[in-house]
């Protein structure tokens, strides 16, 4: 383990963080099978920390704190947190604005510029401004070990985060699912497990990673998803998302913003 733990290193327990969640999210995690999975995850995390592993992020449930289920207009599904120190914030694809722009996020900004034009100033790498407008930025695994991508995949997190997406589908508010890459697209089957209470639009493309963003069959670059999502939301009476400016409070350049 590093002599100086990263600012975003996990500590404590999952249950302590769950206790701080909005009631609707906390209630969604109360099913007995999910409680069993969360206990196993807590035990696994404690064991890995005791063995000297550094785990990210500090707040695995950050996305839930920023975006309650009744506020969700858009769901963006990621895979697992960034595994470098001080990157992962608990929001899919997002890093603090003092960090270099990760390649997938760079391609997301490139796609936004194609759809809306080049911004007057470079966009901030922190996507808190999206989360506070109703974009649920949810990875399917909520923790990862330093420098070991997907190290906490298939440990039970997928069951937890699938349950959270199904909780969103119980809200009647119209919403768009942006499913980029095969991992995210596998979540489409949740629409059969939890028939949505309101209108849902599903937009699918390749992952924004440089490895796939330009490849067929559905290149991410040129997909038009950000504008399509807003057009659909506004046609269903919603405000849509200010993707480019996001003038929400406290969208700061520091670690928390």
CA distances from 194 to 170, 182, 198 (A): 7, 20, 11
Cα dihedral across residues 222, 226, 232, 235: positive or negative: negative
CB 122 within 8 A of CB 113: no
Which residue of the set 27, 42, 80, 242 is catalytic? 80
80 catalytic? Reply is yes
Peptide bond into 88 cis (omega under 30): no
Long-range own/partner contacts, residues 189-198 (CB < 8 A, 24 or more apart): 190/162, 190/165, 190/166, 193/166, 194/166, 194/169, 194/170, 195/169, 196/169, 196/170, 197/169, 197/170, 197/171, 197/172, 198/171, 198/172, 198/173, 198/174
C-alpha to C-alpha distance for 184 and 131, rounded to whole angstroms: 18
- In DSSP notation, 212-249 reads TTT-SSS-STT--HHHHHHHHHHHTT-----TTT---T
CB 55 within 8 A of CB 48: yes
- How far is the C-alpha of 192 from the C-alpha of 190, rounded, in Å? 5
Q: Would you name the residues annotated as active-site residues? A: 80
């Amino acid at each position: 383990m590093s002599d100086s733990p990263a600012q975003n290193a996990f500590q404590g327990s999952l249950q302590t963080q769950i206790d701080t969640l909005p009631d609707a999210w906390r209630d969604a995690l109360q099913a007995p099978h999910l409680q069993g999975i969360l206990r196993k995850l807590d035990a696994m995390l404690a064991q890995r920390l005791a063995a000297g592993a550094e785990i990210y992020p500090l707040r695995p449930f950050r996305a839930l704190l920023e975006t309650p289920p009744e506020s969700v207009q858009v769901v963006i599904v990621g895979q697992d947190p960034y595994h470098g120190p001080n990157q992962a914030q608990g929001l899919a694809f997002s890093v603090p604005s003092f960090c270099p722009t990760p390649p997938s996020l760079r391609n997301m900004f490139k796609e936004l510029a194609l759809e809306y034009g080049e911004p007057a100033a470079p966009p901030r790498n922190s996507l808190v401004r999206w989360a506070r407008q109703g974009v649920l930025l949810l990875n399917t695994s909520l923790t990862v070990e330093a420098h070991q991508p997907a190290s906490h995949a298939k440990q039970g997190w997928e069951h937890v985060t699938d349950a959270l997406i199904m909780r969103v589908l119980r809200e009647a508010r119209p919403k768009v699912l942006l499913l980029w890459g095969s991992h995210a697209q596998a979540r489409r089957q949740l629409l059969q497990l939890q028939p949505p209470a309101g209108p849902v639009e599903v937009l699918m493309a390749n992952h924004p990673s440089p490895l796939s963003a330009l490849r067929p069959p559905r290149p991410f670059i040129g997909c038009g998803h950000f504008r399509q999502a807003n057009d659909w939301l506004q046609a269903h009476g919603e405000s849509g998302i200010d993707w480019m400016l996001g003038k929400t409070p406290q969208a700061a350049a520091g670690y928390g913003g």
